[in-house]
Structure 1
Amino acid sequence: MYKFVVIAVLMLFVSCGAEKQKDSAKKVSNTNNLTEISIEKPLHDFGQLKAGEIVLHTFILHNNGQNNFILAELVSDCGCITAQAKQQVIKPGANTIIEVEFNTAGLAGKEYKTIEVHGNSKELKHLAIFAEVKNEFIDIKY
């Protein structure tokens, strides 16, 4: 009985999270004002870093379309990354910057992290960062 309750609660949390993602996607896609965006140099290599370092990089987002680009959210695949855009609404022909902060605390080895750019663009865009993190407490052999 205990296992059944635990499984039911877990399923509830997972289904609620998926529903939230669907809702945010519907809000953006229901606008019917899709636009074209591009990211200048969507990949960045930080090179070698020491564990515990916090580094920053700025990406440039261009609105190449005919409609305003409305940035809904920036979704990272890791809690070690925070991303913020200077503007939430980018007019046609305009640019904005996306600042990404990467915290290497507790990491080791070759790291590849991505950030999804959610909004009313025709295609989902991704940003990516690379680094090789040296951690004196963890030795990874390749």
Structure 2
Amino acid sequence: MKKGLLMIAAVAAIAFTSCKENAADKVKEENAKEVADRDAKAEKFAKIEFEKEMHDFGTINEGDVVEHIFKFKNTGDAPLVITSAKGSCGCTVPNPPKEPIAPGAEGEFAVKFNSAGKPNSQIKTIRITANTETGKDMVKIKAFVTPKAGAAAKAQTGHEGHNH
């Protein structure tokens, strides 16, 4: 009697398990297209398009602090949220917007460059982290920084003003 009950229980368990698997497969097949369509529609991203991606300050004097406003437009399908913007060194400080930029809307942010201790040709990168498809975007600034007179004299003579 125990063997008979055990056999019936085993057969019932297999039958119920196989029915569930077939039902699950059927549901998966029926919903696969619907899920794929839904996921494709959910893949909406913001897209940041800059008016220009490189700004040239031209020739400035060492010690000058200059600023440029980068203008952009969200040409994507979702509100643009900039989570961070970082300069490639401490001399370059971006100030991105804190609020989301709606699709089709324009925004801007300032980038300050402090040329103190940065003589000659300079190119700095500002890395932007946002909810765009790539997640990372960048803009650049450049300048030729004329060294201070004392620094130029030291560079030409190789001395630091010591008398021999």
TM-score, scaled to structure 1: 0.71
- In structure 2, the residue matched to 1:37 is 48
> Match of 1:91, SS?
coil
Q: 1:128 aligns with which of 124, 132, 140?
A: 140
Q: Which has the higher helix share?
A: 2
1:83-139 Cα shifts (integer Å, max 9, x gaps): 112343110000111101000011111000000111101132211011000112154
- In structure 2, the residue matched to 1:91 is 102
Map 1:107-118; keep pairs closer than 5 Å: 107-118=118-129
TM-score, scaled to structure 2: 0.62
Gaps of 5+ in 1: 1-30
- In structure 2, the residue matched to 1:78 is 89
User: Is the CA contact (8 Å cut-off) linking 1:72 and 1:88 kept in structure 2?
Assistant: no
Aligned partners of 1:55 and 1:107: how far apart in 2?
A: 13
Aligned partners of 1:36 and 1:97: how far apart in 2?
A: 14
2:94 maps to amino acid: A
Aligned partners of 2:96 and 2:43: how far apart in 1?
A: 23
Gaps of 5+ in 2: 1-41, 157-164
Q: RMSD across aligned C-alpha pairs, in angstroms?
A: 1.9
Task: Indicate the structure (1 or 2) with the bigger Cα radius of gyration.
Answer: 2
Q: Which has the higher strand share?
A: 1
How many residue pairs end up in the alignment?
110
Aligned partners of 1:52 and 1:32: how far apart in 2?
A: 46
1:33-89 Cα shifts (integer Å, max 9, x gaps): 522221111111001111100001000121001111111000110100111123431
- In structure 1, the residue matched to 2:76 is 65
Aligned partners of 1:38 and 1:50: how far apart in 2?
A: 31
